[in-house]
Amino acid sequence: MERGPAVFAAGVFLLFGAALLVWTGARAGRRAPVAEGVRPAVAVPLALLAGTGSLALGVWCLQRF
């Protein structure tokens, strides 16, 4: 019974993390702002940390069931 929600949560975390990392890389590669009104020296590492954390949570959810 708990397998469905775990797989769904893992999919959401993995999709969000991958999309955030791709989007951040594309924006940083073009030297475009990653977050409105935030210096790139702060925004890029925080976005990378959030994307990596989301991927880690997705993997953790998959390992739990």
Q: Give the mean pLDDT per block of 10 residues along the chain (65 residues).
A: 85 98 96 92 96 97 86
CA distances from 16 to 22, 31, 47 (A): 10, 22, 12
| CA 29, 32, 38, 40 torsion-angle sign | positive
Q: What does the pLDDT read at residue 4?
A: 87
Q: What does the pLDDT read at residue 3?
A: 84
Q: What does the pLDDT read at residue 18?
A: 98
Q: What does the pLDDT read at residue 24?
A: 97
